[in-house]
Structure 1
């Protein structure tokens, strides 16, 4: 994303925060923790460009509630407490009423060589695109 931001220099970001990549999602086959998922939000905030977060995806409703709660805090620069206080949507955080969902023991099939290969291909594609005009 650093290269994307460098090439296109957007005035704003729109980040789709699909929650179906979280561990134990009924449809997704990934195993991300909520903290890992939120690192994307934290990273994109580091570019100091206005950001619009969109929800979506996620087929385990409790995971979605946990994820969006935590990522809203990350987007605002606020550390959200792990223990969920009573509120009108409290039941969505059961059965333990804490923020973070434990990852499963799913095998990680993303080898370092595979990820490096994908990254290199994407950087090559980006290098061939027209970049944003230089201001000044």
Structure 2
């Protein structure tokens, strides 16, 4: 960032690196994954976030991650309790944004 000095940044937030995600082999939590967004945001350049992955409707780990990262980008606190919506059952059994590792 110091040498190139971009006027803006496009950050592709693919979440295959999340813990328990079947297509990745990493073990990152949503909070740790979002640290990348915090780091890039700290440079105070315009930032565009893009999601990646989510190959089936049941890939709720990615939806959780993108929700949290959007909150980080906006400087907003996102509640942990999942609001009721049409895909609510996919987020069980805990129905929360952050999933505790087993």
The TM-score normalised by the length of structure 1 is 0.68
Pairwise mapping of residues 34-113 of structure 1 onto structure 2 (< 5 A)? 34-58=30-54, 61-103=59-101
Secondary structure of the residue that 2:10 maps to in structure 1?
A: strand
Unaligned 5+ segments in structure 1 are 105-136
Secondary structure of the residue that 2:52 maps to in structure 1?
A: coil
1:6 aligns with 2:2: yes
Alpha-carbon distance, 1:82 to partner: 0.8
The TM-score normalised by the length of structure 2 is 0.89
Q: What per-residue deviation string (whole Å, max 9, x for no partner) do you get for residues 54-89 of structure 1? A: 100256601111101111111110011111111334
Taking only aligned residues, the RMSD between alpha carbons, in angstroms, comes to 1.6
Detail structure 1 runs of 4+ shifted over 4 Å in the superposition.
none
Unaligned 5+ segments in structure 2 are none
Q: What per-residue deviation string (whole Å, max 9, x for no partner) do you get for residues 3-57 of structure 1? A: xx00100000010101100000101010000000001001111100000001002
Structure 1: distance between partners of 2:39 and 2:86: 31
Alignment: residue pair count: 100
Structure 2: distance between partners of 1:33 and 1:49: 26
> CA contact under 8 A between 1:65 and 1:92: conserved in structure 2?
no
Greater strand share, structure number: 2
Greater helix share, structure number: 1
